[in-house]
Amino acid sequence: MPVDIPTPPILTTIAQTLTKHHAQAILVGGSIRDYFLGLECKDWDIEIYGLATLEELEAILAPFGKVATVGKSFGVVKLKHDKSEYDFAFPRSEKKIGVGHQGFAVSLDGTLSYEKASARRDFTINSMGYDILTHKLLDPHGGFEDLQQGIIRHINAHAFKEDPLRVYRAVGFAGRFGFELHCDTFTLCQAMVESGELEAISNERIFMEWNKLLLKAQKPSIGFELMRELGILRYFGELEALMGAPQDPRYHPEGDVWIHTMMSLDAMAHMVDKKSENALKLLYAILCHDLGKATTTTRQEGKIRAIGHETAGVELTKSLMYRLTNNHTFIDSLLPLVEHHLKPSQLYAAQSKSPAIRRLATKVTIQELVIVAKADFLGRTTPEAQSGIYEAGEWLLKQSQKLKVATKPLEHLLQGRDLIALGLQPSPQFKSILKTVYELQLEEKITTKEEALGYVRDIYGVA
C-alpha cells in the first residue's frame, strides 16, 4: 500500500546511503500509527535490514552526527543530528528466559523478514512499517484495518503473555485513542489478570503506563473502566472500593463514587495543561479526591453522608500511591489537595473573610486547589455542573489573588535575623515569637514590618 508519510530529510539521505550497502531502512513503531491518527510524530524509530553487525551501522551513521550505542544487546544505535535524535535498531527475536521485563534472550538478525521481525510487537496497530524510499506501507498483520476500525488486537498470544505489562499498554491505548479491545485480546488480558501474571510487573513500570494514560488520553476514564472490566482493580483496592459506594442523589445524581470519580477525572483531563509541571499532580489528586468516601459513607435518617471523607482520603491516597511509586515528594504534594478539596465551596458558602483564605494558603496552593475543586464540581450531572460555571472557585481565586496568596502563602514579615537585629539572643523562643507574629499577620492585625517590630519591642521589652 503506497503512502506518503512526511519524514525528516535526513532519514531519506541515510536510507539512500544504506542502499549502497545493500541495506534497507524501515520506519517502525508509533510514528506510523500516529500519522494515520492525525497525531504529531515525535519519535522516529528505524529498523535496518540487510546489515550483519552493529559496527557496520555505526560506521554508516557516523558522518551524519553523533552516534551512540545504547543497550548493545538490544541492537539500538542513537543518532543525534541538528538537535534531533533518531533510534536505529536491528530486527530481533526475543525468547523469555526469566522473570520481569529484563528476562529475555534477544537475538539480533539483520536477515529477518519484516513479517517475522514485526511479529514480536504487541498490537497490530504498532506493527506497521514504512519503507522510507519506496513509500510503501508494510502491514503483514492487518494493523491498518484495525486502526480504521478502532480495534486493539494482539499479534501472537504466546509472545504477548511473555510481557504482562502489555495488558496495561492495551488499557493505555484504549484510553488514549478511544479504541476497543478485540474480543480475543480482551479474553487473553482477562485470563492473565486472573492468573496473577500482572503481579510480576514492577511498580515503576505500572506508574509509567498510568502516567501515559493520564497525560495522553482525552478521556482517561476509558482506560480505568477497562481496568475495572479486566479485574485489574483487584490490585488497587482503594479505587475498587468506590464502585457501588452510594452518594446523595441531590448532589450526585450521576451515580456512585466510582462514576463521579471517572467523570471528574475526564473533566480534569480537559482542563489541565498536559505539558505543565503540575499536570500529573492535579490528575492524581482528582483520581484520589474521594477515596475517603468508601470508609466514611453512612445513611442517617434517610440521607447519605460521607462526613470527614476528605480527611480519611489522605491515608488512602498514600496507600494507593505508594503501590505505584516511592516518590515521597510527589505523593506529599497530592495530600493537601485531597484533604482540602471541599474548602473552596465551604469558604464561598460562608463568604469567609481574608484570614480564612490566608490560612488556607498556608496549607495548600489555592490556585491548584481551585482546579481540583472545579473538576470535582464538574464531575456530576447537576444543572449547576452542566452549566460549567464554578462560582465558588472563581470567587476564591479572585479573593486569593487580591490577597496575593493564590500561588504561595503570605510572606513572613519577620525572620530570625530581624529579632537578632533588635538585640534578642538566638534561642528556641525565636520560633514561638515568629509564629505569633505570623498569626497576627494572617488575622490582619499586623500588616507592615514596622508594626511587627513594634509588637516584638512592646511584648518582649526590647528597647
pLDDT at 71: 62
| Alpha-carbon span 406 to 346, nearest angstrom | 17
Q: What is the pLDDT of residues 407-417, one digit of tens each?
A: 999 999 999 99
pLDDT value of residue 193: 97
**pLDDT recorded at residue 94:** 61
pLDDT for 335: 98
User: Residue 99: what pLDDT?
Assistant: 54
CATH topology of domain 9-149: Beta Polymerase; domain 2 (3.30.460)
* Same CATH fold assignment for domains 9-149 and 236-409: no
The pLDDT score that the predictor gives to residue 184 is 98
Domain boundaries, the chain: 9-149, 163-232, 236-409, 416-460
Q: Specify the CATH architecture of the domain 163-232.
A: Orthogonal Bundle (1.10)
pLDDT for position 72 = 59
What are the mean pLDDT values of the chain's consecutive 10-residue runs (463 residues total)?
88 96 93 93 90 90 90 78 90 60 61 89 96 95 97 95 95 95 98 95 96 96 97 97 96 96 98 94 98 94 92 98 97 98 98 97 98 98 95 98 97 95 91 95 95 92 69
Predicted local distance difference test score (pLDDT) of residue 352? 97
User: What single letter denotes the amino acid at residue 149?
Assistant: Q
Q: What is residue 16's predicted lDDT score, i.e. its pLDDT?
A: 96
* Longest Cα–Cα distance in the chain: 91
Q: State the pLDDT at residue 57.
A: 92
Query: How distant, in Å, are the alpha carbons of 215, 334, 409 from that of 363?
Result: 26, 12, 8
**For position 411, what pLDDT does the model report?**
96
The CATH number of domain 236-409 is 1.25.40 = no
pTM (two decimals): 0.91
